[in-house]
Structure 1
Amino acid sequence: MHVPDGFLDAPTSVATGAVAVVAVGVALRGARHELDDRTAPLAGLVATFVFATQMLNFPVGAGTSGHLLGGALAAILVGPFTGLLCMSVVFLVQALLFADGGITALGTNIDLMGLVTVVVGYLVFRLLQAALPKRLSMVAPAAAVSALVSVPAAALCFVGLYAVGGQAPIPLGALATAMVGWHVLIGVGEAVITGLAVGSIVAVRPDLVHGARRVLDRRTLEVRDGRGVAA
């Protein structure tokens, strides 16, 4: 989904760049409330993991390939503000060092693959947490569904941007059908990877997972005597 230079016109690229600047600025302020001495190293690991997995493409058919976006995963592991910062760093490095996405389209890519996937993924995750039983075993499935939804949501937002300022001669209806259809399939792969990654961390260190904190806070402390009987 990396948008190259020139795919959108200049006004649209400037507008998406301005949105990205504001979003990153808000994220910088919000991340201070999400990070502490325990979770700060995890943010670096999340950015590294997303960067590495985005380098790995998997086929989805008809010569098309997809890769992990990672916004929902980042938001659930380290929080939405920190997650957006992780994603922005990944896209900046990709654009500058690997020409993966254009420099003038950097704001567009941050908005689509970072802001949209983080916000949509995290909102869906919280809605699912409110509806599902408050158990740690529900964190990973909720994360997987959130990741699945976030990918076609980003594809739809891209179609909307193309409708406003697209420069390529592609019919809007055909583009929408192709983008949403293929990205639903990509979202399935995203859901599997996200569910496995979140589930693996929750199994050993649930206290490090931002999305599991509300579940942990609801768990009551059970005091036992020396014989292992609840007091």
Structure 2
Amino acid sequence: MHVPDGFINVPVSVATGAVAAGAVAVSLRGARRELDERTAPLAGLVAAFVFAVQMLNFPVAAGTSGHLLGGALAAILVGPYTGVLCISVVLLMQGILFADGGLTALGVNITDMAVVTTVVAYTLFRGLVKVLPRTRRSVTAASFVAALVSVPAAALAFTAMYALGGTTDIPIGKVLTAMVGVHVLIGIGEAVITALTVGAVLAVRPDLVYGARGLTAPLKLRVGGELVDAAPEPAAVPVPAAPVAAGPVAARSTRAFWATGLVTALVLAGFVSFYASSSPDGLEKVAADQGIDKKTEPHHTDDSPLAGYGVKDIADGRISGGLAGVIGVGATVAVGSGIFWVVRRRRGAQEAGQVPAGTV
């Protein structure tokens, strides 16, 4: 759903740019509360993983494909504020390096794909988690529903922006029907990917899933036909050497998880992406069918060495696309991790009293 330059007029593009800038500023503050020593590097990994999976277009209808938007996945794994930043980093990398999504439309894309998807998905996710049983299956099920709804919500948001600033005279009812219809189907794919990923992380490291924090419920025992809380286990006698060993063990465990996730992202972007559907995605298909793309403008980085997710001057499509994917994952994890490291450091400095609480 990457909106190119020329779909939305200048006033609305400027307005959405202001909205996106404000959302990123708010998210930078909010992310300081969500990030700690373990989750800060994982946030960069989530951004890289979303970048990789977005390269895997899957068929949804005749001549149409879809791809992950990622707002729901990022929000559930690392928190809603950090999730907005993750998707914003992905969109920035795609726009600058790969000519995917217009630069003057960056505000439109961040507002639509980062802010709307994250807010809608996480709000629905939290509501479902509160009413469902406190189990890992419930978190996975809530992830599925939240991701499913977030995609047509983004389609609705784009339609609203197009109604305000579309550059072609197309009946808005046709745009709405086409956009929502195809993106409901894409939402199913989004939901499956999100639920599978969240479920996989819950299975190996549930402590790293932001949306599952506080999931553990007190143990219940049946006494005289009634369920009562079990008595807490007595505290273990402290062993002097234990605190020294616990830190390195936990760090190694997190590093192993991070390395596994990075390798997975590299394999998806560098190899599996070659087998992705080549059909136009939902927005591209609707734009072509309805005439929204009549005033599309050339991308400002069309001459980029990586434009179109291929490396310039490499003739072999498999090698060119795979290398571009690997470069994209590397650039995204580097930029994302750098941003989240700075945010985490500023939190630490603020807690130490070195940075005023009101600064970003």
After TM superposition, the score normalised by the length of structure 1 is: 0.94
Structure-to-structure mapping, 1:156-167, within 5 angstroms: 156-167=156-167
Residue type of the partner of 1:106? Answer: L
Specify the SS of the correspondent of 1:167.
coil
Q: Give the aligned CA root-mean-square deviation in angstroms.
A: 1.6
CA offsets 1:190-211 (integer angstroms, 9 cap, x no match): 0000000000111111110000
What's the counterpart of residue 51 of structure 2?
A: 51
The 5 A counterparts of 1:1-231 are: 1-216=1-216, 218-219=217-218, 222-223=232-233
Q: Render the CA deviation track for 1:30-72: whole Å, top value 9, x for unaligned.
A: 1011011111121011101100111111111131111000000
**Residue 219 to residue 112, structure 1, CA distance change in 2 (3 Å):** farther
1:167-214, Cα deviation, whole Å (9 max, x unpaired):
134321111111101000000000000000000111111110000003
On the 8 A contact 2:47/2:87 being kept in 1, the answer is yes
Q: Which is further off, 57-66 or 1-10?
A: 57-66
Would you say how many aligned residue pairs link Structure 1 and Structure 2?
225
Change beyond 3 A, Cα 1:150–1:55: same
Cα distance in structure 2, aligned partners of 1:200 and 1:224: 32
Alpha-carbon distance in structure 1 between the residues aligned to 2:12 and 2:145: 31
SS in 2 for 1:59: strand
- In the TM superposition, what is the alpha-carbon distance from 1:97 to its structure 2 partner? 0.7
Letter in 2 for 1:15: A
Tell me the SS of whatever aligns to 2:59. Answer: strand
* C-alpha distance 222-197 of structure 1, shift in aligned 2 (>3 A): farther
How far apart, in 2, do the equivalents of 1:174 and 1:161 lie?
15
Q: Counterpart in 2 of 1:229?
A: none
Say if 1:34 and 1:87 are closer, same or farther in 2 by CA, change over 3 A.
same
Specify the SS of the correspondent of 1:214: coil
CA distance in structure 2 between the partners assigned to 1:129 and 1:108 by the alignment: 30
Return the alpha-carbon distance in structure 2 between the equivalents of residues 214 and 178 of structure 1.
41
Q: Which has the larger radius of gyration?
A: 2
Secondary structure of the equivalent of 1:7?
coil
Partner amino acid for 1:223? E
Cα distance in 2, alignment partners of residues 158 and 214 from structure 1: 35
Output one character per residue of 1:136-173: Cα deviation in whole Å (capped at 9) or x when no partner.
22111110110000000000011011111101343211
* Unaligned ranges ≥5, structure 1: 226-231
Find the residue that maps to 1:100 and give its secondary structure: coil
After TM superposition, the structure 1 stretch with the greater mean CA deviation from structure 2, 84-93 or 32-41, is 32-41
Which structure has more relative contact order (CA 8 Å, sep 6+)? It is: 2
Identity %: 67
| Distance in 1 of aligned mates of 2:232 and 2:66 | 46
SS at match of 2:186: helix
Secondary structure class of the residue paired with 2:215: helix
Once the 2 structures are TM-superposed, how far is the Cα of residue 224 of structure 1 from its aligned partner? 7.4
